[in-house]
Structure 1
């Protein structure tokens, strides 16, 4: 667990790393990076799966503001530790009292995730879980 919280939504696998700053719209969380394979898709309310983010440390402030505005992903599942994304979620939890769960998953756990459908993520002091239905 990188950041505690609970979230559920349709899973969204990102084919490439994404920068929240310059790669997503601050107000809608739509992917605006024209070179990204998922260009035009909204992250809002989705359980986002990616290897890692890309780009600037400003991504943490964009993610924190998307969390505050209610347009952020419902949860983020990462294949590698990402300090910038985690910092954005931790800042939103501290400043706004809104939690966005971020989990670090190993290769086997990532491979076991569904490619489509609804996913629920829960993470806290008692442990973390990812389930789908």
Structure 2
């Protein structure tokens, strides 16, 4: 089955890969290890899971303005997600996507966290604000 979500491109670009979905917001400052691209927030549902090379689908950012600096570090260290798709647009999530320099889409016509599942094949066309999901469900 193919599902198409339409939204707003935040950082232009095109990427295709496997989805990693978080139902919880992600803390950049102290919530991720930029050296490995792993979520290290102890009570997070994805604790210990690496987002490097995945399309990271999540509700949005939480925590301080340091969120973007930690995600920028993932770009510099080669551990960044392939693309970002987030439900709630905030200055933290938008700036984080910009400094990470990965295609990013938000403000979609369907909740991406409810629609996309970890392991789905996702194409992010942030030029047009379109996220295409290929799933076996």
Q: Which TM-score band applies after superposition, normalised by the shorter structure?
A: 0.7 to 0.9
Contact 1:101 1:122 in 2 (8 A): yes
More helix, by proportion: 1
Are positions 1:86 and 2:94 aligned together?
yes
- Kept in 2, the 8 Å contact 1:26–1:62? The answer is yes
The equivalences for 1:99-114 within 5 A come to 99-108=101-110, 110=112, 113-114=115-116
Query: In structure 2, do the counterparts of structure 1 residues 118 and 58 end up closer, same or farther at CA, with 3 Å as the change threshold?
Result: same
1:43-81 Cα offsets, whole Å, 9 max, x none, are: 111111111111111110111111122211111111111
Q: Gaps spanning 5+ residues in structure 2: where?
A: 1-8
Whether the 8 Å CA contact 2:23–2:113 is kept in 1: the answer is no
Root-mean-square deviation (CA, aligned residues, Å) is: 1.9
User: In the comparison of the two structures, how many residue pairs are matched?
Assistant: 125
Distance (Å, rounded) in 2 between the aligned partners of 1:13 and 1:120: 14
- 2:111 and 2:67 map into 1 onto residues whose CA distance is 26
Q: Do the aligned residues in 2 keep the contact of 1:15 with 1:38 (CA within 8 Å)?
A: no
CA separation in 1, counterparts of 2:38 and 2:114? 27
TM-score (norm 2): 0.81
Give the direction of change, closer, same or farther, for the CA distance of 1:75–1:105 in structure 2 (3 Å limit).
same
More relative contact order in 1 or in 2 (CA 8 Å, sep 6+)? 2
Q: Which runs of 4+ in 1 moved over 6 A?
A: none
Structure showing the higher strand proportion among its residues: 2
